[in-house]
Amino acid sequence: MKNAPNPEFEADCIRRILAGEKQLFHDLIRPCERPIFFLLMSILHNEADAEDAAQEAVVKIYRNLHLFRGESQFRTWALSIARNEGLGRLRKAGTRREDSLDALTEDQGGDFTPAILTSWREVPSRALEQKELAAVLRQAIDGLPEIYRNVVLLRDIEEMDVRETAAALGIAEGAVKVRLHRARALLQRSLAPRLKGFAPNRGKLFGWAKARKDEPR
């Protein structure tokens, strides 16, 4: 798990911060920065707004630290504050999208049939050196309905477990699983046809020649 939380370190840190060692808050919040930002990106859909909201949320987390009861993980609690910050901004801007989307997408069922393939040539992670591939992947995730995007970001990208994701998003664990399944099906369908072009060429010669060319001199 990326930046797996360490509850003992957190509890100790929080005690000391509240006792006056304020600077420790920097270390406490560091592992939460990525999930906070990407959750807000998912809600607000704009990098500058997400960064602004992330700063505001982190300040709120700092100010309200004495209210943290240790009933959940610190990161879960921090993420729910970030989520409220994001949703509050949406409400203020008059774009209350989440409720309607929740109702719509969950009930409609929709079509989650995968792209049907008869064979698959693996696209290795080193293909990500091509900026274009990362852009295609980001676009596909940006294009997901918000309720699926949130879950993909927390579960697959931030590698949070089902329980923590459910708590951070304020939804049931079953909903996390259903949404993740649907999101992955939608992503497989949109991405599989486009990723084929990024699989290494079958001809070894070409791969070899290219590798040679890219070698440092």
Partner 1 sequence: MRIDCKHVWEHISAYIDGEVEEGLRAEIEKHLETCEICSAVLDSTRNVVVLYADGRVFELPAGFSERLHERLEKEMEVSGT
Query: Residue numbers of the site for partner 1 (CB under 8 A)?
Result: 2, 20, 22-23, 25-26, 29-30, 33-34, 37-38, 47, 51, 54-55, 58-59, 62-63, 112-120, 122-123, 125, 127-128, 133-134, 137-138, 140-141, 152-153, 156-157, 159, 177, 180-181, 184-185, 187-188, 191-192, 195
Nearer to partner 1, 91 or 138 (CB): 138
CB-CB contact of 50 with 5 (8 Å): no
Give the C-alpha separation, 82 to 170, whole Å: 12
CB-CB contact of 68 with 14 (8 Å): yes
Minimum CB distance to partner 1, residue 105 (Å): 16
Q: Which helix (H) or strand (E) holds 192?
A: helix 173-195
Region of 162 on the Ramachandran plot (φ > 0 left; ψ -120 to 50 alpha; else beta): alpha
Minimum CB distance to partner 1, residue 162 (Å): 9
Give the C-alpha separation, 9 to 25, whole Å: 12
Nearer to partner 1, 100 or 118 (CB): 118
Distance of alpha carbon 65 from the chain centroid = 24
Minimum CB distance to partner 1, residue 82 (Å): 12
Show the tokens assigned to 53.
């909201």
Minimum CB distance to partner 1, residue 79 (Å): 15
Nearer to partner 1, 12 or 21 (CB): 21
Residue 6, phi then psi, degrees to nearest 5: -120, 100
Minimum CB distance to partner 1, residue 94 (Å): 26
Nearer to partner 1, 101 or 133 (CB): 133
Nearer to partner 1, 83 or 149 (CB): 149
Give the C-alpha separation, 72 to 160, whole Å: 14
